[in-house]
Amino acid sequence: MSARMQVGLSDDRRTATLTFLDGSGLDGTIALSLDQMTQLIASLGAVRAAMVERDPPPPIEGVPVAPVFRTNWAVQPEALTEGSLIAFQHPAYGPVGLALRPADARRVVQALTRHQGMVHPRRGPASKPN
């Protein structure tokens, strides 16, 4: 199935335009501010979540992931599972979070500890002891 709409960004990067394409059954365009785009993305995400809620989560191993390198993030207790919540500002989706049960939080700590052992030491003044 081909896309029946297209989203473009204005030259000043302040608004987006949703354009309905041939075959969509609609004509015209809709201008969206950043807040409106964020609300649309959140609404689409909620609907998608409802569509897949009965399906088991698909495997993540080997799936290409677009990492986020520039963000604000936080780790905080998560009351429902008594685990931890890792939350961050995703540039495409806004604030998102991952709730980890205590056993999963331990697995993350173990994995991060292993990864830190793989990091190459820095050479130069930054790596010299005080």
> At a CB cut-off of 8 Å and minimum separation 6, what does 80 contact?
99
Q: Pick the more confident residue, 72 or 121.
A: 72
Q: Give the per-residue pLDDT at 130.
A: 44
What element of type H or E holds 6?
A: strand 5-9
pLDDT in tens, 21-76: 988 889 999 999 999 999 999 999 999 999 999 999 999 999 999 999 999 999 99
